[in-house]
Structure 1
Amino acid sequence: MFKPFVHIQNLNLSYRHKAVLKDLYWEINVCENWVLFGESGSGKTSLAKVIAGLIPAQGRVEVDFDPISKLPAEVLFVESWYQFKNLEGVANFYYQQRYTSQQAKETLTVHAELVAYGKEKGLHLDQVEPILAALNFSSFASSQLIELSSGEHKKLQLVKALWLKPQLLIIDQPYTGLDVASRQNLNSLLDGISSQGVQLILISNDAELPSSIHSFAEIKDGQLITSAKRDLTSVSVEKHNRKIPDFLKESPVYSSNNIVKMVDVNISYGEKQVLKNINWEVKAGEKWLLQGHNGSGKSTLLSLVNGDHPQSYANELYLFGNRRGSGESIWDIKQHIGLISPELHWYFDATSTVWQSIASGFYDTVGLFQQLPYSKSAQVDALVEYFGLTESKNELLNSLPLGKQRLVLLARTIIKNPELLILDEPYQGLDQQQTQHFNQLVDELCSNGMTLIYVGHFESQLPTCIEKRILLEKGEVKVVESLNTKTRHCEVRSNLLHRTI
């Protein structure tokens, strides 16, 4: 009888006296590749970290590495997002720093990071080039780490993992921030290293998976449920029946019918042009989908709308009826906007509680630094209850599972019932049920007149209210189109699935 590659028995793990894993049992045989999926907070990431030896737990965890394999006898765990530091070893960046530090060399470049990683792991640089090309990442060699978007950071994580090819590779949310083509190429690369002996555990709720995946597991009440088919597991999506708080039923008070107007906008960093002659207009109450390849300029475009980019003053840009640079401050602009993005999540104040994090949305800060009046406190309490966060409201934000952290920041985004809602990859870390619940809320808010700019690569996660679409390609506008809302839900997903975006 063959010995299993991974053997887990009687595994127990608790956080703050709450049991997460309970006498969990799991055997992974040689050549098996798995997907671990299910509800946010069920313990998927914790189990992965235990297998990788990153956190302690009670019970038996054995990994039987192949002593004659040429692959490193190592379990590599790839986090859901990339944690990096500046050249002085400090990681306390602030949100706008990505756009204000282009001239300063504050972090390593992608090339320097790969050189350091290759030296640490004994890898040859020529072996990484095909991986960079397959993920369309070769052109980012000279980019500083702080300049990268969430999708580009995910690509850097994946490049390093695919380059190393450990005997066991565990990737948390492998498709986060990746465009359609990159997801397809990643699956091909994962199949490739699997054929070379790398065994995979992917933590993902996504439908698109490598063809080498044949086993599925879900954590339910601390136990592992395994299956040969995903649809035999117990994940279900039910309709969210909570009524939205009364203050969100009111239509936003618009200061102007013109929310955004860009006239021949150009953004460059030295010789690198990121946006080229952008012309775009968003009217009050419109619902837009913003799409494009990783690196197409989406994040830079949003930084102009949100008032974060210093080059906005050198362009003809109008926000909420006023030309940028006509006397308004960045805080005047942000008062009109509710924003969530992966970058904002990265840099959010780790010492804030759930309640404080939501309340900070009134002031557009990354922490709460003043006492709220009763009326605003009541609104925070209403959203805490609506999102099912009552038991966690006094806990630190970073102590929660990733999905619940994202729910907190989604609540922060809508707390002031803004004129403009900017949702940049809003559902990273959420399970299917949480995603559907928030989509219902977005649709209801938009039916009350809120303006929406939504950025997302996953067609299955789009709210139904979207009525217009802008597509960027290499910094230029390639498509601006209206979508028939009656047939959009079927047509746009069909169209997008067959386009390279």
Structure 2
Amino acid sequence: MMSQPIVNIANLNLKYHNKLVLQDLNWVINRKENWLLRGISGSGKTSLAKAIAGLVRFQGDIEVNFDPQSSLPPLVHYVANWYQFKDLEGQSNFYYQQRYNKQATETTATVKFELENYGKKHQLQFSEAEKLLAALGFSDLLDSTLIQLSSGEHKKLQLVSALWLKPQLLIIDQPYNGLDKLSRHKLNDLFEAITAAGTQLILISNDKELPSAVHRFAAIKTGKLVEISADEHLQEYDKEEAKSIPDFLTETPVSSAENIIRMVNVNISYGEKQVLKDISWEVKAGEKWLLQGPNGSGKSTLLSLITGDHPQAYANDLHLFGNKRGSGESIWDIKKRIGLISPELHWYFDPLATVRQSIISGFFDSSGLFREPDYTKKTQAAELISYFGLTEYQDVLLNQLPLGKQRLAFLARTIIKNPELLILDEPCQGLDQQQTQYFNKLVDELCQNGTTLIYVGHFESQLPACIEKRILLENGEVKSVENILESV
């Protein structure tokens, strides 16, 4: 007698904010199968995962058959793309600069507190979590508060919790987002171990570095699930025809100084923990830099000094746009020269802003739109909305869009004022391969016009071609500074 499949989906129909994204979808997941699910942004991958986990409403049939003989918990556990957390008073309405605020860290749970509560809830042994923390290089962060973690560290916390639980079916949305190269390899080793112990995996990802345990591949196309081969998964999406960038972005930004950034022996500490140690770095106008380093190396803290968000900037020898920090310029004088995107800025953005309002807010460096823009600003926003293919979504709330389209709106917000300095911190998280290539090509075009660039990215294959220099951080120190030579 054949055993029942663990998941049997028949004629699934699902709407995402009144738009039908999955239509008469069928999928059978047999025992011992581990799947990779891919598809372009907005195709319905996350909606399908949430439906299997019982987190959203749908029409049709989803039958989940747990193995009664298994010692693993009879659960479908879904890991979202990013980690939603609350402070000790149950609030979750954080703002971007709050992560550098001492008072906020005092009202937010530590990693250890969060994990201990999770372990009690699911009756898990903390010693098992400690092994996972060590494997992902996360042990030193047990006493850090949740609000202090970078995007890669938040992802690791999600992964530790899920792998510790060992459910019969584990669905992970974008498991590799924000992880450095070593962490991705370690994670694949952990996936091999957990599948060998009986957990079945569904990974939602467009990445190519996968555990060998994943041996079935599917994509969502026009609302249906289509099984594909491993070779098809490795193929690129069809190239989208390039559009011309809006005229206002072809103008060279006015540089206020020869040195955009100059820092000498910068040190940042939280109590006894030193996060940045004797950092010296100079960025000249028009230079294109790649900032890299393992998770927890200090990249986010370094960027927060440049964007004016970190209060310890005043205690250091730091010049921005020709002015020493603390010499009279306000945080807004700095921000008006910078276009910024980061996972953290995205997390803490105003949930009530529409796509159009979110993009226009880039002129004012605000989290949402709180003043009426003039005609020129409205016109430039309309051009970018068209350029990024967001016209039909412009009056929709930003947080109601699929994540990839949210990121495109944020990218439009970042460049709308044609800033002197572009800081792109993991800008392509949540984008599919086609969107990533499209965006990096746009960055290359922008940077032909003299824009200064700092680009943070782990994936060497997903970088703009214009990058010419690299600074590498490790344990809060500068490990190397080098010119990136074009290969001939």
Normalising to structure 2: TM-score of the pair? 0.98
Cα distance in 2 between the residues matched to 1:126 and 1:476: 31
Tell me the equivalent position of 1:452: 453
Mapping of 1:27-46 within 5 angstroms? 27-46=28-47
Cα distance in 1 between the residues matched to 2:89 and 2:231: 45
Amino acid in structure 2 at the alignment position of 1:330:
I
- Residues 472/129 of structure 1: CA separation in 2 closer, same or farther (3 Å cut): same
SS of 1:300's equivalent in the other structure is helix
- Residues 104/190 of structure 1: CA separation in 2 closer, same or farther (3 Å cut): closer
Tell me the equivalent position of 2:282: 281
Tell me the equivalent position of 1:171: 172
- Show structure 1 runs of 5+ residues with no match: 488-501
CA contact (8 A) 1:336 1:420 kept: yes
Cα distance in 2 between the residues matched to 1:367 and 1:288: 29
Tell me the equivalent position of 1:242: 243
SS of 1:35's equivalent in the other structure is strand
Cα distance in 2 between the residues matched to 1:142 and 1:474: 17
Residue by residue over 1:217-256, the C-alpha shift from the partner in whole angstroms, topping out at 9 and shown as x without a partner, is 1000000001232416986231442110000000001111
Cα distance in 2 between the residues matched to 1:251 and 1:384: 21
Mapping of 1:37-436 within 5 angstroms? 37-101=38-102, 104-231=105-232, 236-436=237-437
Residue by residue over 1:286-330, the C-alpha shift from the partner in whole angstroms, topping out at 9 and shown as x without a partner, is 000000010000000000010000000000000000000000000
- Residues 104/195 of structure 1: CA separation in 2 closer, same or farther (3 Å cut): closer
- Residues 224/233 of structure 1: CA separation in 2 closer, same or farther (3 Å cut): farther
CA contact (8 A) 2:151 2:344 kept: yes
Cα distance in 2 between the residues matched to 1:408 and 1:174: 23
Tell me the equivalent position of 1:494: none
How many Å apart are 1:127 and its aligned residue?
A: 1.1
Cα distance in 1 between the residues matched to 2:104 and 2:224: 51
SS of 1:426's equivalent in the other structure is coil
Cα distance in 2 between the residues matched to 1:388 and 1:362: 20
- Over the aligned positions, Cα root-mean-square deviation in angstroms equals 1.1
Cα distance in 2 between the residues matched to 1:387 and 1:115: 44
Tell me the equivalent position of 2:484: 483
Amino acid in structure 1 at the alignment position of 2:184:
R
Cα distance in 1 between the residues matched to 2:431 and 2:328: 39
Identity %: 67
Amino acid in structure 2 at the alignment position of 1:313:
Y
Amino acid in structure 2 at the alignment position of 1:196:
A
CA contact (8 A) 1:240 1:437 kept: no
Cα distance in 2 between the residues matched to 1:80 and 1:184: 19
Residue by residue over 1:259-309, the C-alpha shift from the partner in whole angstroms, topping out at 9 and shown as x without a partner, is 000000000000000000000000000000000010000000000010000
How many Å apart are 1:106 and its aligned residue?
A: 1.5
Amino acid in structure 2 at the alignment position of 1:369:
F
Residue by residue over 1:60-107, the C-alpha shift from the partner in whole angstroms, topping out at 9 and shown as x without a partner, is 101110112110000000000000000100000000000123674111
SS of 1:128's equivalent in the other structure is helix
SS of 1:378's equivalent in the other structure is helix
SS of 1:406's equivalent in the other structure is helix
Cα distance in 2 between the residues matched to 1:417 and 1:16: 33
Amino acid in structure 2 at the alignment position of 1:136:
G
How many Å apart are 1:123 and its aligned residue?
A: 0.2
Residue by residue over 1:407-447, the C-alpha shift from the partner in whole angstroms, topping out at 9 and shown as x without a partner, is 00000000000000000000011011111111110000001
- Show structure 2 runs of 5+ residues with no match: none
Compare 95-104 and 144-153 and name the one that shifted more. Answer: 95-104
Tell me the equivalent position of 1:493: none
Cα distance in 2 between the residues matched to 1:275 and 1:446: 29
Cα distance in 1 between the residues matched to 2:184 and 2:237: 25
How many Å apart are 1:337 and its aligned residue?
A: 0.2
Cα distance in 1 between the residues matched to 2:487 and 2:340: 27
SS of 2:309's equivalent in the other structure is coil
Cα distance in 1 between the residues matched to 2:55 and 2:358: 28
Amino acid in structure 2 at the alignment position of 1:94:
Y
Cα distance in 1 between the residues matched to 2:255 and 2:241: 29
SS of 1:422's equivalent in the other structure is strand
SS of 2:106's equivalent in the other structure is coil
Compare 104-113 and 138-147 and name the one that shifted more. Answer: 104-113
User: Would you say how many aligned residue pairs link Structure 1 and Structure 2?
Assistant: 487
SS of 2:305's equivalent in the other structure is helix
Normalising to structure 1: TM-score of the pair? 0.96
How many Å apart are 1:51 and its aligned residue?
A: 0.1
SS of 1:96's equivalent in the other structure is helix
Residue by residue over 1:464-495, the C-alpha shift from the partner in whole angstroms, topping out at 9 and shown as x without a partner, is 000000000000001000111355xxxxxxxx
Amino acid in structure 2 at the alignment position of 1:164:
L
CA contact (8 A) 2:16 2:47 kept: no
Amino acid in structure 2 at the alignment position of 1:185:
K
